Amino acid sequence: MRSKTIKEGIERLPHRALLYATGIPKSEMGKPFIGVATSFTDLIPGHIGMRDLERFIEKGVHTGGGYPFFFGIPGVCDGIAMGHSGMHYSLASRELIADMVETVAEAHQLDGLVLLTNCDKITPGMLMAAGRLNIPSIVVTAGPMFSGHYKGRRLNLTSDTFEAVGKFKKGLIKKEELDVLEMCACPGAGSCQGMYTANTMACVTEALGMSLEGCATALAVSSKKRRIAFQSGSRVVELVKKNITPRKIMNRKAFENAIMVDLALGGSTNTVLHIPAIANDAGIKLPLEIFDRLARTTPHIANMLPGGPNYMEDLDYAGGIPAMLKRLKPKLKDNITVSGKSIAQIADEAEILNDDVIRPIGKAHHKEGGIAILKGNLACRGAVVKQSAVSKETMRFEGTAIVFNSEEDALKAILAGKVKPGNVVVIRYEGPKGGPGMREMLAPTAAIAGMGLSESVALVTDGRFSGGTRGPCIGHISPEAMEGGTLAIVKNKDIIRIDIPGRKLNVALTDREINKRLQTWKKPAPKIQKGYLARYARLVSSADEGAIMK
Same domain? 124 vs 202: yes
Question: What is the DSSP annotation of 289-340?
Answer: HHHHHHHTTS-B---BTTTSSB-HHHHHHTTHHHHHHHHHGGG----B-TTS
Domain co-membership, 524 together with 447: yes
How far is Cα 37 from Cα 140, in angstroms, rounded to an integer? 10
* The predicted structure's pLDDT at residue 196: 94
Residue 339 lies in a domain: yes
DSSP 453-464: -TTT-EEEESSB
| Together in a domain, 334 and 423 | no
What's residue 83's pLDDT?
84
Spot the catalytic one: 39, 159, 211, 466: 466
Does residue 319 share a domain with residue 411? no
Confidence of residue 2 (pLDDT cuts 50, 70, 90): very high
- Could you tell me the residue range of the domain that residue 304 belongs to? 31-147+189-349
- 17 occurs within a structural domain: no
Q: Which of 300, 316, 349 is the last residue of a domain?
A: 349
Q: Where are the alpha helices (DSSP H) in 170-311?
A: 175-184, 197-208, 223-242, 246-249, 252-265, 271-281, 289-295
Give tens-digit pLDDT for 163-220. Answer: 999 899 889 999 999 999 999 999 999 999 999 999 999 999 999 999 999 999 999 9
Distance CA 13, CA 9 (A): 7
Mark whether 410 and 529 lie in a shared domain: yes
Q: Taking Cα atoms as reference points, which of 133, 22, 98, 5 lies closest to residue 67?
A: 22
**138 three-class SS:** strand
- 466 catalytic? Reply is yes
Query: What's the CATH number where 462 sits?
Result: 3.50.30.80
Asked if residue 299 and residue 207 are part of one domain, the reply reads yes
- Domain contains 175: no
Same domain for 444 and 490? yes
Query: What's residue 468's pLDDT?
Result: 81
Q: Confirm if 547 and 277 have CB atoms less than 8 A apart.
A: yes
Give yes or no: residues 116 and 227 share one domain.
Answer: yes
Residues 222, 100: one domain?
A: yes
In the chain, the number of structural domains is 2
Q: What does DSSP say about strands 379-386 and 371-376: parallel, antiparallel, or unpaired?
A: antiparallel
What pLDDT shows up at residue 467?
A: 82
CATH number of the domain enclosing 129: 3.40.50.2300
Residues 342 and 379 in one domain: no
Look at residues 317, 349, 381 and tell me which one is the last residue of a structural domain: 349
